[in-house]
Structure 1
Amino acid sequence: MQITNGSAGTAVELRHRVLHADPDANAELIERLRADGVRAIALTVVDNGGVTRVKVVPVQRLASALRGGIGFSVVWAVAGADDSFALSAPFDTPAGDLRLFPDFDALSRITGGPRLVWVPADQYTQELDVSPCCQRSMLRGAVERGRELGIEFKAAFEVEMSLLGEDGDPGHHGPGYSASALLEVEPFALDLMDALAGHGIEVEQLHPEYAPGQVEFSCAPRDPVGAADQLALSRIVARKVARAHGLAVSFAPSVHPGALGNGCHLHLSAWRDGVNLMQGGDDAVGGLSGDGAAMVAGMLHALPEVLAVLAPSVLSYARLQPQKWAGAYACWGVENREAALRLVPGTVSSRASSANVEIKTLDGSANPYLALGVLLSAALDGLDRRAELPRPVQRDPHTLSKAERAKAGIARLPSDLGKATDLLARSEMAVKALGPELHHAFVTVRRREWETYGRRDHAELIPEFRLRY
């Protein structure tokens, strides 16, 4: 049982499957799980606070879950990372219920034995309509809009995390990328790669990063829903493996005051009829095709408006600083690690298959389904408008004068969550991408986090949020 493409059907298909369920087929699935030693199924969703929430169903109750779903209060749409609820109509009442349905196309085991399996869940109403606040379904909708235009997307995340000992000390002390740092975490790193491979998650590379205790691994590309599912599962796997080694894992954007934070860089490519649109075009735009350039332009234009989705916590802005390779300026460049959008052409021998654009502003507090969903929507909006991509920036934008940046159209991205949330709240593109209900719920959560924590010192906040994501 390994993670696949996370391609659960539409609400219409789900309704038909539930209302006309084949009892024998469900019984066969349950019997197969029991024969494999499975005792329970963990259903997860990632909420608007960036937290992975879970409900565990004993295998003997699975038939009921497949028939009627698992209850999930509507107030989870406004849950924050601190377990508070940003109550706002229509999410300000204890009344009402949603139903979680498992997507068994993406079933996978959880490391440590066969007794517990993991599956992502979709949120539906009791009438078996997709909940307008289902983050996973929002991403699926963006993927489907691309397919209607003949566009297939591939996505891959770079997972940065910080290893912590029992006393909170870093799991390694550097130097970054060094063999000596790797030796400090070698047992964990090897077990992690084995565990991820056992879940069907292909690790392309792993290394110790620059910050104390920081480790990064990169996953192979897959369809967007599968990539987001894969990220959610890989975090669970990493935590479980780390625990076996006496370590804790933090995916928070800031873990040690003054040190580099954890990003969650996203690599994205777009394809039509088997051709990678991130290559094969004009050298003036880094070799992007005309359609590829329009999609990158769409994302670049939308970046300030959707930053609160990509960097949604107060601590995101401790990480999102100039000259930290975090992408603090709204610009793009070819292999420019200081640009928010970095075009990665790849070597000439693999360019046709590997060329992609890296979005550097994402961090570990982001909901991967929403982050991918708004970026795909922005890319498709750029394609629809035939958006024009400005010239690439091949310098560190922070070293340019204000006049030079203004002339080149380079703007600093919002410097705190309050400013980013204000832009998101006014963004027509974001409302269209997320839908009005999900947009309202997400903005409400961001406003509450800013009002509660925005004036506090980052160093003071780090211990409170270090292990939340």
Structure 2
Amino acid sequence: MTERLVRFLYGDPSGVIRGKQVHRSRFDDAVVSGLGLTRAQNAINVLDDLVPVEGMEPVGEIRIVPDMDTYQALPWLDGVGSVFCDQVGHDGTDWGGCPRSFLKRAVGRAGTAGLSVQASFENEFYLAERTPSGPKPWGDGPVYSSAGLDRAAPVVNDIVDALVEQGIEVEQAINEYGPGQQEISIRHADALRAADNQLRVRDTVRGIAGVRHGLLASFAPKPWADAIGSGCHLHFSLRDADGENVMAPADDPQGLSDTARAFLAGVLDHLPALVALTCPSYLSYARLRPGAWAGSTVSWGFDNREAALRVASPFRGRERASANAELKTCDASSNPHLALGGLILAGLDGLERKLELPEPAAHDPASLPGFRSLPATQLQALAELEADTVLTVGLGDLLTRCILATRRSEYARCAQMGDDAVRAVTFEVF
């Protein structure tokens, strides 16, 4: 390691990437002992309000301990590296408030069931420039157009190079529907690495845009009232003990296996509560509207982009290997460890209960009878989460109470501020 400064980073329950920075001279000791962090740090919401949570008072400390497999030099800064961390107690064990440890527990549950999960977060985000009247979209062009690709190329090309330099395989980089909106798709990985990669992508995009180009990059779910929202669609597939994709039957690569059907049925059954983790912020619900290609109902379908859960068609020549599903009701205001851990627990519950997958939606489910609407507000989603024992037991008491308290405090503040003020304040948070 040649970097003189190293950032010890973690995703907190509010979805913000936070951390501390140490000098190289302290690094070896910090790898072993971790860095001290007040227990209250996780009780800070999106607006940086400290929220009262029993067990997360500003008394007592935990430690953030790095996973050295995640270490990377930061391509946009000279002599700075970063590593993602677990939060542990003084004895080195999970203290009950660590989102990354929650995902590890969910992965362990899947392993007990003979399964592993491969996943990837497909991010949409806006590039913008600062103006006296607020952020203005930058690099706009017709959606999926060569002109749009050209206009954003100076920034997007640098982002792609920086991700590849950090070991992340970029599959697609396109200009999306909104003015100045981009999309980057990366290669799938095991669940823990996929969630870590999501934090790495967010950090890299903002670092390259800001430090190298003097621009803003926003992953906020609805940064402008009159522009399409941004999601980070969560793609996932199930693997058996031999690492084989078991989403589709061996004799029907276009279909769904019994395992996949029960797992997807579990995701749908818990979806009204799960969105409190996958679409957790106040403005997430301005995106989850009919006609927005974001999913607004408890629904699934084959290549149905209005359904909350889309079963993607496999690619010719690698049909079984490429079979996967996409949760469209997910955005980058989420902590990816919470989002993916929640999805895994929901799916495993479907397997344990042998749930039946309902009929797929062949059209826009919001226009059809019989489909339950998803929560219309952050507050409604939190009520669903509080009532969902599969998710709350999986999260544990402390993390559940933290999420409910910090997010409800966020809702109260944001509802008082109004949507325009919230957009302005959170544009650069995510």
TM-score after normalising by structure 2: 0.96
CA deviations over 1:327-364 (Å, ceiling 9, x no partner): 11110000000000000131342211111010001111
1:466 deviates by 0.5
Matched, 1:100 2:64: yes
**Residue 184 of structure 1, aligned match among 151, 159, 182:** 151
Question: What CA distance in whole angstroms lies between the structure 2 residues aligned with 1:48 and 1:158?
Answer: 20
Code of the residue aligned with 1:444 in structure 2: it is: A
Matched, 1:74 2:39: yes
Code of the residue aligned with 2:186 in structure 1: it is: C
Matched, 1:303 2:271: yes
Q: Please name the residue that 1:29 is paired with.
A: none
Question: What CA distance in whole angstroms lies between the structure 1 residues aligned with 2:323 and 2:28?
Answer: 44
Note if contact 1:318-1:458 (Cα within 8 Å) is conserved in structure 2: no
Matched, 1:277 2:252: no
Code of the residue aligned with 2:383 in structure 1: it is: D
Code of the residue aligned with 2:7 in structure 1: it is: A
Code of the residue aligned with 1:230 in structure 2: it is: N
Q: Please name the residue that 2:185 is paired with.
A: 218
Q: Secondary structure at the match of 1:412?
A: coil
1:68 deviates by 1.9
Note if contact 1:282-1:289 (Cα within 8 Å) is conserved in structure 2: no
CA deviations over 1:250-276 (Å, ceiling 9, x no partner): 011111112111101100000113331
1:321 deviates by 0.8
Q: Please name the residue that 1:9 is paired with.
A: none
1:114 deviates by 5.5
Code of the residue aligned with 2:229 in structure 1: it is: G
Code of the residue aligned with 1:308 in structure 2: it is: A
Matched, 1:110 2:77: no
Q: Please name the residue that 2:215 is paired with.
A: 247
1:443 deviates by 0.8
Q: Please name the residue that 1:20 is paired with.
A: none
Q: Please name the residue that 1:328 is paired with.
A: 296
Code of the residue aligned with 1:165 in structure 2: it is: E
1:88 deviates by 2.3
Code of the residue aligned with 2:202 in structure 1: it is: R
Code of the residue aligned with 1:304 in structure 2: it is: P
Matched, 1:446 2:407: yes
Q: Secondary structure at the match of 2:65?
A: strand
Q: Structure 1: any 5+ residue segments left out of the alignment?
A: 1-32
1:418 deviates by 1.0
Note if contact 1:417-1:454 (Cα within 8 Å) is conserved in structure 2: no
Q: Please name the residue that 1:11 is paired with.
A: none
Code of the residue aligned with 2:390 in structure 1: it is: M
Note if contact 1:281-1:288 (Cα within 8 Å) is conserved in structure 2: no
Question: What CA distance in whole angstroms lies between the structure 2 residues aligned with 1:105 and 1:114?
Answer: 21
Note if contact 2:231-2:294 (Cα within 8 Å) is conserved in structure 1: yes
Q: Please name the residue that 1:339 is paired with.
A: 307
Code of the residue aligned with 2:160 in structure 1: it is: M
Q: Aligned-residue CA RMSD in angstroms?
A: 1.5
1:456 deviates by 4.3
1:246 deviates by 2.2
Q: Secondary structure at the match of 1:161?
A: strand
**Residue 355 of structure 1, aligned match among 316, 323, 326:** 323
How do residues 13-52 of structure 1 correspond to structure 2 at under 5 angstroms? 33=1, 37-52=2-17
Note if contact 2:205-2:217 (Cα within 8 Å) is conserved in structure 1: yes
Question: What CA distance in whole angstroms lies between the structure 2 residues aligned with 1:276 and 1:128?
Answer: 35
What fraction of aligned residue pairs are identical, expressed as a percent? 36
1:427 deviates by 1.2
Question: What CA distance in whole angstroms lies between the structure 2 residues aligned with 1:368 and 1:304?
Answer: 18
Larger Rg: 1
Q: Please name the residue that 1:18 is paired with.
A: none
Q: Secondary structure at the match of 1:160?
A: strand
CA deviations over 1:211-243 (Å, ceiling 9, x no partner): 111100001000111011111111111112112
Question: What CA distance in whole angstroms lies between the structure 1 residues aligned with 2:250 and 2:235?
Answer: 19
Question: What CA distance in whole angstroms lies between the structure 2 residues aligned with 1:282 and 1:77?
Answer: 48
**Residue 358 of structure 2, aligned match among 386, 390, 394:** 390
Q: Secondary structure at the match of 2:298?
A: strand
Q: Secondary structure at the match of 2:147?
A: helix
Question: What CA distance in whole angstroms lies between the structure 2 residues aligned with 1:380 and 1:398?
Answer: 27
**Residue 373 of structure 2, aligned match among 399, 412, 415:** 412
Q: Please name the residue that 1:6 is paired with.
A: none
Q: Please name the residue that 1:24 is paired with.
A: none
Which 4+ stretches in 1 moved above 2 angstroms?
A: 454-457
Question: What CA distance in whole angstroms lies between the structure 1 residues aligned with 2:6 and 2:113?
Answer: 37
Q: Secondary structure at the match of 1:330?
A: coil
1:282 deviates by 8.7
Q: Secondary structure at the match of 1:454?
A: helix
Note if contact 2:175-2:181 (Cα within 8 Å) is conserved in structure 1: yes
Q: Please name the residue that 2:27 is paired with.
A: 62
Q: Secondary structure at the match of 1:275?
A: coil
Paired residues in the alignment total 425
Q: Please name the residue that 2:176 is paired with.
A: 209
Specify whether residues 331 and 219 from structure 1 end up closer, same or farther in structure 2 by C-alpha distance, changes over 3 A only. Answer: same
Q: Which range moved further: 171-180 or 182-191?
A: 171-180
Code of the residue aligned with 1:263 in structure 2: it is: G
Q: Which range moved further: 430-439 or 296-305?
A: 430-439
1:286 deviates by 6.1
Q: Please name the residue that 1:23 is paired with.
A: none
1:303 deviates by 0.4
Question: What CA distance in whole angstroms lies between the structure 2 residues aligned with 1:50 and 1:438?
Answer: 13
Q: Please name the residue that 1:162 is paired with.
A: 126
Question: What CA distance in whole angstroms lies between the structure 2 residues aligned with 1:192 and 1:347?
Answer: 27
Q: Please name the residue that 2:138 is paired with.
A: 171
